[in-house]
Structures are given as structure tokens and as C-alpha cells.
Structure 1
């Protein structure tokens, strides 16, 4: 059975056609800044291009999307980083646009599912996954299934509050882990500190050059990530903790040293699960979305 995995992000849409674990083709398109129904159009186009490259028509589509979500109704309640997706019936609209069944999952939950079954947490009975990129998301997998919670709001790990009264997050609240340590947070802090626009790529370069402000900004963010992970371990006690996402995986070694130092500091007196880097890279979301479709079609549940 072939399926299309779709990974909807704040800046890009990735589509991949899978035959089992084999990736037949992959397409990446920008996420429309207008949001709303333009996102559905872009998703449909990504599916069409990926299928054309693979030379096949997939039987089902798995979509990993930011949330929180109403999974029963197939609705995006809101997305912190994409406009026009409030109470948005994404599943119905995408099914109408593609003519295929669409199986929905939170994007970070999808990546967590992939890392659990195929990546850094393979073989564990439970795992916690955190992705640090433009935003911060995550997921908890117990017994091979994603923990969604009673209302489908589980796994929003980037929106735990670490600093009451801190910077305002895209979700509208303040002091979230995402508002303190995601890519946009780093760019905000760096642009303020240097009195000009600084993106994460330049921030990493400034850090490598030994610039003091860049070091303070980057390592402070890493410590927030470690602190957040320690708090989550106390709540879920997973078999392993996996960290991925473009920002974290591309960060220099001192970032990881600061992250792990904070993680272990805030778990003093507790048994710390092993902390691992994600293995599936940027394809984790695609693989997880495809897995979601496979598991739904074959078993009717994740």
C-alpha cells in the first residue's frame, strides 16, 4: 500500500510518497503566508507533485499539522504560527481537494511516532519526543500509541509555562517554552541585542566566532529546553527522551552540553531517562504522517 505523508509547518510543506518505509519521492513547498484555504491548495499541489514524481497514486494521506486539533471532527482549533486556521475543517477540505481519505495527527505527535517506531526510541515501550525548530512541539508515545489526552490536546509540550510573565508566545499566553527557546525566540532576542535583524543561521555563526551576546542567547535557550524536558520527565517517566528539530540538530556542541546540563540539574534525585538525538532528521514528520495513515487503514487506531 502506498500513502502520502504530509508535514505542514510554519514555513514549509513537505510531501512524501511512501511504500512501507521506503520513500519514493519528496516535494517541499513554501507554506502560504496568507494561511486559510491557500494552505489547502498548497497541500493539494504538494500531493500532486509528489505522486507525479513517484509515478503512482497513493491510497490514503496522512497529515501532520500544528494544533491543538479536534481529531474526531478533523478540525484545526488554531495554529500559533500559521494564520487563518482557527476552527478550520482541514480534513474535509483536503479530502475534497484530493479525493482520498485523510488521516490527521498533530505534527509533533507524528514525528514522535516515527522516532518511537523507527528512530532513536526504537525498541522502547515509551518515549518522549521534543522538536526544537521554528516553534517547539512534542509528543509522548506509550505502548506504541501517541498520548492524545481526553480532548486531543495532549502533547503540546512547547506550550508548558516556564517563565510566568515572560515573552508572549504565538499561542497568546506568556512564558511558554516555545516563546523562550524556539527559532523565532532566538531571532527575537538576537535582533534586539544587535539592533538589527539576525536569523538563527547568523546567530550560530556569531556564536562560532566567540561573540558573547550570541553565546548568552543560545546557551540560555538550551538551558530552557533542558529545564522543560526535566519537568516533562517528572510527569511522564518515559523510557527515553529524544530531541530533534532543525534548530537543535544543527546547533553547535556547547548548545547540547548546556541542554543536557540543565536536564540533569533539574532531575537531581530522580532517575534520568537516556537523552538522545533524533535519528530521522527532517523526514520524521513525513514518516510519522505516513505511519498515521498506515495504522489507521490497517488497524483503525494508532
Structure 2
């Protein structure tokens, strides 16, 4: 195991589940068990904070003195959360960075969840040393995105909220839409194809990476997708948010 100075804690707060782990910052790998607790219903700030404390307790005393990064499924600018697609509306315009630091009694690093996943891929995964534009899409409760251009993150892209028939496209094409409408994998892949066609038309990426919870079942939908850019599963799949959040202390 790496020395403590080379490790950090990452916490990934999602619309459905909250996950945490200790990360080796040299090679970008989890060096602890990944712990998970369902996101509290309504995802209000005080309930999310309490769940973060439970996750840290599950990681044990090893996590107490390590740098801590937290990623969250909203737009994040200067420590404030500016949106709330899959969490309580109380997060809109909320001083989240200060709230977590005061509640936990320790410094934190705070970032959007898809941007954290993008950092994991940029520093330790499929986007490392990749020229041009890489777009990471995280397919989970919604659709998150990270733009990675020539080894740099362009923060707070929100491709899941591209307008589609008067609503955010994630309502139509996210994995939760497949579950909610009882779609077959083939039917859902057709919707996902429309999403990626739209993204390619707008941005012409050189590489598309697919992460998020559904990335653990790539054989069920990836063969049905066709894109001009190379498309592949993100190296760190559903652990990318934890790893990227932890890497903010680099």
C-alpha cells in the first residue's frame, strides 16, 4: 500500500447511491474496499452530509487524516452548487463546499461528478495522453458528461440536459428511462444512438468514453451503437468518480 501522503479519500454522491474509497494517487487505483450507501430519499443537504459521515465511518480510521475529495451531480462553480436535476432543489445556489467543510470539520475538494470521472480518465485512464477532444459520458441516474481537450478538463458541461422534445435528453435516454419504461436493451440502445448522434453532430469528438453504472454491462448495448469517433468503456467504469474526486488533492 502506498504511503499516506500518496493517498486520498474520494466520495461520489449520485442520485441513487453514494460511494467512497481510499485511492492510491500514484496509479489511480482503489486501495480500500469500495463502500456504498443508497442516497437518502430527496437528497437534502443535511441528509447527504449524514450519509457522507457514515461512508467515512465505514472506511475506518485510515481515512481520518487523508485529503478528501467529494463529487456531486450538479453544476459546481466556486464551491457553490447551481443545479439540481436528481437531488433536492435546496442545492440550487447552495454554498456546498463550505457546508461540507463545516459539517465534517476538515478541508475538502469539491467538484461535479462527471468532471471527477473525467479527471480519473485524464490522469489514470482512457483519456491520458489522448490528443484532441475526448467526451466522457456517464450513464447512470441521468447522463453526465466531461469534455477533455488536450490533457485539460473543460468543466461543467451538461450534455444530459440538451433539449430533446421539450425536455432534457436524459429523461429519454438515461438508463433510468430504460427501467422506468421497461424498454428492451435494443430499444434503449436506439435512444442512446440518437443521443450520441446529436453529440457528434454538435462537437465532433475524437474519442467517446462510456462510464457510469451501466458500463458494467457493455455487451448488452455497446455493440448496437455506431459512432464516427472511436467509442470504448471508460477505464475506471463506475469507480471513476471516486478516483477523480480523490485526485483533486494532487
Q: Give the TM-score normalised by structure 1.
A: 0.72
Q: 1:50 offset after TM fit, Å?
A: 1.4
Higher strand share: 2
Q: 2:160 aligns with which of 141, 151, 158?
A: 158
Q: 1:216 offset after TM fit, Å?
A: 5.5
**Structure 1 equivalent of residue 24 of structure 2:** 19
Whether the 8 Å CA contact 2:178–2:188 is kept in 1: the answer is yes
Matched, 1:78 2:104: no
Q: 1:217 offset after TM fit, Å?
A: 2.6
Matched, 1:129 2:136: yes
How far apart in 1 are the matches of 2:200 and 2:172? 16
Give the secondary-structure state (helix, strand or coil) at the position aligned to 1:34: coil
Q: 1:147 offset after TM fit, Å?
A: 0.5
**Structure 2 equivalent of residue 60 of structure 1:** 67
Q: 1:131 offset after TM fit, Å?
A: 1.0
Are the structure 2 counterparts of residues 158 and 116 from structure 1 closer, same or farther at C-alpha, using a change threshold of 3 Å? Answer: same
Q: 1:130 offset after TM fit, Å?
A: 0.6
CA displacement 1:29-57 (0-9 Å, x = unmatched): 111113221101111221232143xx342
Q: 1:248 offset after TM fit, Å?
A: 4.3
Q: 2:200 aligns with which of 230, 252, 265?
A: 230
**Structure 2 equivalent of residue 29 of structure 1:** 37
How far apart in 2 are the matches of 1:218 and 1:252? 13
Whichever of the two has the greater Rg, that structure is 1
**Structure 2 equivalent of residue 168 of structure 1:** none
**Structure 1 equivalent of residue 93 of structure 2:** 87
Give the secondary-structure state (helix, strand or coil) at the position aligned to 1:140: strand
Whether the 8 Å CA contact 1:5–1:288 is kept in 2: the answer is yes
How far apart in 2 are the matches of 1:107 and 1:186? 22
* Structure 2 counterparts to residues 168-207 of structure 1, below 5 A: 174=167, 176-190=168-182
**Structure 2 equivalent of residue 5 of structure 1:** 10
**Structure 2 equivalent of residue 144 of structure 1:** 151
Q: 2:207 aligns with which of 218, 231, 240?
A: 240
How far apart in 2 are the matches of 1:155 and 1:122? 19
Count, aligned residues:
239
Q: Which runs of 5+ in 1 are unaligned?
A: 149-153, 166-173, 191-202, 204-213, 264-271, 295-302
Q: Give the TM-score normalised by structure 2.
A: 0.86
Are the structure 2 counterparts of residues 114 and 221 from structure 1 closer, same or farther at C-alpha, using a change threshold of 3 Å? Answer: same
Matched, 1:42 2:51: yes
Q: Which runs of 5+ in 2 are unaligned?
A: none
Higher RCO (CA 8 Å, separation ≥ 6 residues): 2
Are the structure 2 counterparts of residues 233 and 51 from structure 1 closer, same or farther at C-alpha, using a change threshold of 3 Å? Answer: farther
How far apart in 2 are the matches of 1:94 and 1:181? 32
Are the structure 2 counterparts of residues 142 and 51 from structure 1 closer, same or farther at C-alpha, using a change threshold of 3 Å? Answer: farther
CA displacement 1:146-189 (0-9 Å, x = unmatched): 102xxxxx31111112x333xxxxxxxx1x22111102212232
How far apart in 2 are the matches of 1:240 and 1:137? 16
**Structure 2 equivalent of residue 100 of structure 1:** 106
Q: 1:4 offset after TM fit, Å?
A: 1.1
Are the structure 2 counterparts of residues 56 and 244 from structure 1 closer, same or farther at C-alpha, using a change threshold of 3 Å? Answer: closer
Q: 1:286 offset after TM fit, Å?
A: 0.5
How far apart in 1 are the matches of 2:21 and 2:202? 31
Are the structure 2 counterparts of residues 215 and 49 from structure 1 closer, same or farther at C-alpha, using a change threshold of 3 Å? Answer: closer
